[in-house]
Every structure is written in structure tokens, then in C-alpha cells.
């Protein structure tokens, strides 16, 4: 335990995590990073499937993703299909502040852990429920993954090039967004309970809504003007100039010269004084109408300069510009390192491993990695024995029968 564990903003908050893979666990991960005690319930023997997803470390037979996604969490095992399991979970709920789950609606009810039962076990508990479509509505019983949430939440349709099929981001964006909204909602509910004398409540997060909530002004634009935003490739629709440009050495740079004053500096920097002083390009809405002209001018300028040459000129002019980084670029970048976003942690028996730092950064009570993702059932004795007060004989019997 770190020296400042008790000063973390969520110190003293206990969270029960029931779920697997990403959305619910990502929500609980954020809470754990800032001091909450997160007790993750996993199926005996196999655990969360994320333990073996993506790149697996040969020595531990464990996913490298797992070590980050489950950092600071405590792992216990429990067979939820055993009739005795719900009673054990209720004992944990009685001693906890939050229950996070991301099962298909009806699953918790099947296990005897509906909101009514959770609230009865502990009226102060916040129940954060992350699912594909939410806890009500005509789609609530449909299967839902992050990819479907992204596609029906609006982001897939506008991602890619207009002459090609829609594409996805290379990460599980919908799940992570839902987890972030879940963490935000959980903290709001805790504040209402603790600062205003309220009780526990349900935080209901749907994967499609988590994506839809980021869709800027698309709904009123469609409602009042009939506008359906389309795919625009690397350009930012409705904001000009903001695009990706190829340099002479084959490297790409992203330039965001769309602020009115930034635009003028940008055009002067690339020696296009005529564009800088053109009154029809003085504001963004007018520039959008002529963005093809601007893109051609900018592309012509970058095409005869190396990335380093173009970067130096634009940086001196205070124009927002940057490269498109691979993970290798990020790992080597001194700014990421100076900000603590590339950390090294000791993986027992393996050696040092690089992991992402923690966001956001708090000046007085920052988050911290205390340990990497735990082994399956690593905290059974601590939680069942110390927290619930069960004796060793009971735990051995539970293990023998497969309950834990």
C-alpha cells in the first residue's frame, strides 16, 4: 500500500465489481486508480476472459492488457450460478458503497440481485449498471457490445472516407466511453448520497448512448436543417482548415489552423499572404465554403518540405501541428515521460513493464498504480476471511465444492 493511499480522493470507498471484459471493469478501474477498494468477482478457474485476450505474456499466460485494466483491484472468485452465491454477494454489498455490473439486463435479477434486493441489502449502495441498451426500452434484451454501441450511437457512420465503407477506431471505444460515463455517474451518485444526505441509486449507462452523447450538434442540425453529417476522411467537418497533410519525406502531419487568428498566422507562415488577407476567409463559416482551396494550398506547401522543416516553421508561428504517433513514438516521447504517462512497474518474476500513467492529474490527491492486475482469486482469504469473517474451514469447503 502506498504512503498516500489514505489521502486519495476515493479512499474509504468500497466497490464490488461484477462483470467482465471492458465497460464495467473500465468504470471500476477508474475508481480503483483514485483510491477506491475495488473487489472484482470472477468465475472460479477461468476468471474474466480479458485475462487471456490480445497479446499474452508467455511466462504468466496472462494478457498484458489485464495488468493495466485491472490494476489496483482485488480478485475473488465466486460461482454465480451456485444458489449460495447471491447471499454472499449481499454480505459484501452490506459492507460496500458501490456495485458495478455490466451483464445483460435480467442477469442480476436471475441471480437474486435486482436493484430492490441490492437496495434492501444496503440502502446506501450505488448500483452502476452498464449494458448494451440500458435497463429499459424495446432493445434492452438484445445483446450489445461496444462495436454495436458505436455503430448505432452515430460515430461509425461519420468515420472514414466518403467513398468507402464506415470504419472503426482501433480500440474498444464504445466500451471505454461507457465505462467513463459510468464512473462519472457513480461519483455524482456518491456525492448526492454523502453531501446531500441522499440514499443509493441506480446509475444506468447504455453503450449506444455513451457514444451518442459525444455527437456534438448533429441532432439539432438534422432536426432543424435536415443535415446528415457524412464521412469526411481526415478533415474535420465544419471547421477549416483542419486536416492531415503529407510531407516530402512521406510523413504525415495534422494541422489545426481553424481559429480565425490562428488561420492568419498559418497563412502568413506558409507565405500565402493573399489567403491571410482575403476577407472572404476571415471567419470559419466562410472558410468552410472554400476549404478545398485551402487544403490544396496547404498540401502544396507541405509536399515540398520534410516533416521537420514544416513543423519548425509552423511551431514558430504558434500554429497547432503534430505528427501521427504510433505507440513506439508515444513510448519514446519526452513530453509523455515528463508528464508521468509512461511508467515502469515491477511485474513479479518477470521484471519491469511499461504501463500508461493515470488520468486525470490531481494536484493534491493524485491517482496511482499500487499493483498490477491480480492473479485469479488472489484476495479470497482477505475478503472472505478478514472482511466477512469466515473461517479457514469454510473457505476450504467452498473451494472443494467449486463455489469459489
3-state secondary structure of 274: helix
Residue 210: CB atoms within 10 Å: 25
Cell numbers linked to 255: 494541422
Cell numbers linked to 172: 474498444
Task: Count Cβ neighbours within 10 Å for each residue of 349-364 and write b for 16 or more, e otherwise.
Answer: eeeeeebebbeeeeee
Adjacent-strand bridge partners of 100: 17, 128
Distance between CA atoms of residues 293 and 289, nearest Å: 9
Q: Which of 175, 194, 318, 329 is catalytic?
A: 175
Please report the DSSP string for 241-304 in residue order: SEEEEE-TTS-EEEEE--SHHHHHHHHHHTT-HHHHT-GGGSSHHHHHTTHHHHHHHHHHHHTT
Chain position carrying cell 507541405:
302
Question: Does residue 175 have an active-site annotation?
Answer: yes
Residue 344 has phi, psi (to 5 degrees) of -115, 140
- Residue 323 is given by DSSP the state E
Alpha carbon of 222 to those of 230, 347, 372: distances in Å?
12, 51, 46
Distance between CA atoms of residues 130 and 128, nearest Å: 7
Cell numbers linked to 380: 479470497
List, by residue number, the catalytic residues: 175
Amino acid at each position: 500500500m502506498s504512503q498516500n493511499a489514505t489521502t486519495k480522493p476515493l479512499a474509504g470507498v468500497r466497490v464490488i465489481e461484477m462483470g467482465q471484459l471492458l465497460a464495467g471493469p473500465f468504470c471500476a478501474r477508474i475508481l480503483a486508480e483514485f483510491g477506491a477498494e475495488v473487489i472484482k468477482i470472477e468465475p472460479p478457474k477461468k476468471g474474466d476472459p480479458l485475462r487471456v485476450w490480445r497479446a499474452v505474456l508467455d511466462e504468466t499466460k496472462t494478457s498484458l492488457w489485464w495488468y493495466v485494466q485491472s490494476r489496483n483491484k482485488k480478485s475473488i472468485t465466486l460461482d454465480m450460478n451456485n444458489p449460495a452465491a447471491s447471499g454472499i454477494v449481499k454480505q459484501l454489498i452490506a459492507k460496500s458503497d458501490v456495485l458495478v455490473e455490466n451483464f445483460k439486463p435480467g442477469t442480476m435479477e436471475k441471480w437474486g440481485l435486482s436493484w430492490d434486493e441490492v437496495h434492501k441489502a444496503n440502502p446506501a449502495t450505488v448500483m452502476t449498471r452498464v449494458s448494451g441498451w440500458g435497463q429499459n426500452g424495446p432493445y434492452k434484451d438484445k445483446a450489445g457490445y461496444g462495436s454495436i454501441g458505436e455503430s448505432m450511437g452515430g460515430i461509425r457512420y461519420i468515420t472514414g472516407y466518403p467513398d468507402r465503407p464506415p470504419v472503426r477506431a482501433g480500440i474498444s471505444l464504445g466500451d471505454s466511453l461507457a465505462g467513463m460515463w459510468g464512473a462519472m455517474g457513480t461519483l455524482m451518485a456518491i456525492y448526492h448520497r454523502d453531501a446531500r444526505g441522499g440514499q443509493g441509486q441506480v446509475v444506468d449507462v447504455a453503450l449506444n448512448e455513451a457514444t451518442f452523447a459525444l455527437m456534438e450538434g448533429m441532432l439539432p442540425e438534422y432536426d432543424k436543417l435536415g443535415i446528415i453529417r457524412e464521412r469526411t476522411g481526415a478533415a474535420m467537418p465544419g471547421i477549416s482548415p483542419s486536416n492531415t497533410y503529407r510531407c516530402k519525406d512521406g510523413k504525415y502531419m495534422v494541422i489545426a489552423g481553424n481559429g480565425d487568428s490562428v488561420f492568419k498566422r498559418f497563412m502568413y507562415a506558409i507565405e500565402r499572404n493573399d489567403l491571410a488577407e482575403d476577407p472572404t476567409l476571415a471567419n470559419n463559416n466562410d472558410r468552410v465554403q472554400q476549404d478545398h482551396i485551402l487544403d490544396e494550398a496547404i498540401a502544396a506547401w507541405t509536399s515540398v518540405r520534410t516533416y521537420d522543416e514544416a513543423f519548425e516553421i509552423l511551431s514558430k508561428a504558434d500554429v497547432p501541428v503534430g505528427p501521427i504517433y504510433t505507440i513506439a513514438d508515444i513510448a519514446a516521447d519526452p513530453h509523455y515521460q515528463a508528464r508521468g504517462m509512461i511508467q515502469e512497474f515491477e511485474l513479479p518474476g518477470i521484471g519491469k513493464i511499461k504501463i500508461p500513467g493515470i488520468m486525470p492529474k490531481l494536484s493534491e490527491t493524485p491517482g496511482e498504480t499500487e499493483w498490477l492486475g491480480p492473479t485469479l482469486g488472489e484476495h479470497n482469504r482477505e475478503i472472505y476471511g478478514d472482511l466477512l469473517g469466515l473461517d479457514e474451514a469454510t473457505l476450504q469447503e467452498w473451494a472443494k465444492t467449486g463455489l469459489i
